[in-house]
Structure 1
Amino acid sequence: MHSRWYRFADLSAGTFHDMLHLRQSVLVVEQASPFPDLDGRDPVAQHLALYDGDAPTPVGYARIFGPDADTGTTSFGRLAVAPAWRGKALGRRLVAECLERLAQEWPEHDVQISAQLYLESFYGGFGFRRVSEIYDDVGIDHIDMRLSR
């Protein structure tokens, strides 16, 4: 298993298509959440893909963002792991690699995420704390969580 970071300008059409396919399969179809996954933010994100050996298709995905102009916090999201690869701690690996990259690029900025409510303890294991009430995001309960630097 190896990981690779991409800036949007460095993504080939095929690589970006494979990332979007994984995102759509997990975050829209599997979770029955018809939301606009293509939110216009991919061009300013850095994209992380996990690959099994030399396989060209990612089995895990996440994206990160630099400091938000309003909050000053960095963030990550759109975490997705292919169903056949679950139970192998790839979600933890994605989060750990995102946090490492954010700390390298923007070490002085807190990290704030929008998390599905059922993942509160998962993210809590990385030091995140809830900073909002529960809210509905396209039919799924979410909370904002923050990791202070």
Structure 2
Amino acid sequence: MDVRILSFDELPPRLAYDIWRLRQEVFVVEQACPYPDLDGRDVEPATRHVLLLDGEDLLGYLRVLSEGPDGEVARVGRVVLAPAARGRGLGTPLMQAALDVVGDRVSVLSAQAPLAGWYGAHGYVVSGPGYDEDGIPHVPMTRPTGG
């Protein structure tokens, strides 16, 4: 397994294709959430794409966005594992790499409610009321500065 952290400009075309294919396969098709996945945030200079690879196979992905006037808040999102990679503990190295990118910044994310405990194990706490997003219960979560 190999974890890579890349900016958009560093993404080889094939990996970029694999990322968007995986996000579409899971978020749009499997979870039946038609939404505009290509939201313009992937190409922002401060965005970091965190990839979990087995050779050339993309097993997992997430992105870390910078928010706030000075990028003082990190937003972790689009966290996804390929269906064949689930249940093997592979989300942990992906999230650990994300936290390396986050550094000492406050970090926020929107968690599917059943996964709140998993994010909690990485230092996140529920920071507001739950809500429904495309029929899936979510909760906002925050990881304080430095976790």
Residue matched to 2:51? 49
SS in 2 for 1:95: helix
**TM, length-normalised to structure 1:** 0.88
**TM, length-normalised to structure 2:** 0.89
Partner Cα distance (1:114, 1:142) in 2: 6
Name the structure where strand makes up a greater proportion of residues: 2
Q: How does 1:6-17 map to 2 (within 5 A)?
A: 6-17=6-17
Q: Which of 109, 113, 129 lines up with 2:109 in the alignment?
A: 113
Partner Cα distance (1:137, 1:39) in 2: 17
Q: Which runs of 5+ in 2 are unaligned?
A: none
Deviation at 1:3?
1.1
SS in 1 for 2:73: coil
Which amino acid counterpart does residue 19 of structure 1 have in structure 2?
A: I
SS in 2 for 1:43: coil
User: Which runs of structure 1 show a deviation greater than 4 angstroms over 4 or more consecutive aligned residues?
Assistant: none
Q: Which of 120, 133, 143 lines up with 1:147 in the alignment?
A: 143
Which amino acid counterpart does residue 69 of structure 1 have in structure 2?
A: P
Partner Cα distance (2:38, 2:134) in 1: 14
Partner Cα distance (1:32, 1:96) in 2: 28
Q: How does 1:1-149 map to 2 (within 5 A)?
A: 1-44=1-44, 45-52=47-54, 54=55, 56-69=56-69, 72-103=72-103, 107=104, 109-149=105-145
Q: Which runs of 5+ in 1 are unaligned?
A: none
Q: Deviations over 1:70-113 (max 9, x none)?
A: 9942111101111111111111221111012211xxx2x21111
**Alignment identity in percent?**
37
Root-mean-square deviation over aligned CA pairs: 1.7
SS in 2 for 1:66: strand
Deviation at 1:126?
1.3
**Do the aligned partners of 1:35 and 1:138 also contact (CA within 8 Å) in 2?**
no
**Do the aligned partners of 1:46 and 1:65 also contact (CA within 8 Å) in 2?**
yes
SS in 2 for 1:59: strand
Partner Cα distance (1:35, 1:70) in 2: 28
Deviation at 1:60?
0.7
